[in-house]
Amino acid sequence: MSSERKAAARQRRGVWALGAFAILYLVFLYLPVLFLPLFSFNDSRFIAFPLQGFTLAWYEEMLADDAMLNALGNSLQVGISVAILSTILGLLGAKAVTRYAMPGKEAITAFIMLPLFIPEIILGISILILWSALDFPLSLMTVAMGHTLICVPFAMAVLTSRLDGFDQSLEEASLDLGENAWMTFWRVTFPLVMPGIASSLLLTFIVSFDEFLIAFFLSGTEPTLPVFMWSELRFPSKLPRMLALGALILLASCVLVVFAEWLRRRGVSDAERGGGYGIT
């Protein structure tokens, strides 16, 4: 066998080995998650095989739980507020690091991204100590402040990528034609970064909605949905309805993540084509 054929055979074996590893990794990572919706339809309060039958009773019980609906409302309030505030701060930060030369820009960017690398339990305890020292009552507001701290890096990462992806000469042309900085942003920059803004809003909402540790320390008497679920899991009789709730959250999170990624890719594609915007 020639050396070329041997090399081709080794390459094929390598591709097959890499593909098999990827499949095994995905199975290991996601197979346990698939048991959540599976047992949410099981007609039994016990998580065990074989399944006892198909039922929607746990979903009906879940939707009739007023405490759960109140916790859901709390999470939605916090998630929407955090998504909007984080995206605004992330947009301002992304515009600063991509449009202006400043001393220590890399250090400033690293400092903003630092909450991504600090364990959330440390952040939660630290913020709790701070609010306690200031005698500030724990509420949904303190949860939103804590979530904003960890969501701004996500928003800034998404929006920095988007701002780096389109032609800055469009902004320069707008300024040369007499528009001020605000109108240039509103009429030129904002439409171009809109897919990134939408992606940031969805991503930060998901991060805030699903976050547990910081909410656990800062929610006080107003639990968010993850905190409520954790408290309910102490009672075995309520486990099936928590499985149903978890299945719905899993589905909603997957849909939002896919939609956010679609918006991001669409924005990158538009930027590569010039965005389709002009200056009039």
- The 10 Å CB-count burial string (b at 16+, else e) for 17-42 is eeeeeeeeeeeeeeeeeeebeebbbb
Do 216 and 229 form a contact (C-beta atoms < 8 A)? Answer: no
Cα radius of gyration rounded to whole Å, the chain: 24
Q: Is the pLDDT of residue 162 over 60?
A: yes
Q: What is the mean pLDDT of residues 34-42?
A: 81
Q: Is the pLDDT of residue 63 over 90?
A: no
Per-residue pLDDT of 199-231, as tens digits, reads: 889 889 989 998 999 999 998 888 998 998 888
pLDDT band at 271 (very low <50, low <70, confident <90, very high): low
Q: What are the structural domain ranges in the chain? A: 1-35, 41-272
Q: Percent of the chain, pLDDT > 70? A: 86
Lowest mean pLDDT of 3-12, 35-44, 77-86, name the range. Answer: 3-12
pLDDT band at 249 (very low <50, low <70, confident <90, very high): confident
Quick check: bond before 50 cis, omega within 30? yes
Which CATH code for domain 41-272? 1.10.3720.10
What's the mean per-residue pLDDT of the chain?
81
Q: What is the pTM of this model?
A: 0.77
Q: Give all strands (DSSP E) within the chain, no chain letters.
A: none
The helix-helix angle for 66-99 and 190-210 (nearest 10°) equals 140
Query: What pLDDT score was predicted for residue 53?
Result: 79
Q: What is the mean pLDDT of residues 45-52?
A: 75
Query: How far is Cα of residue 242 from the mean position of the Cα atoms in its chain?
Result: 22
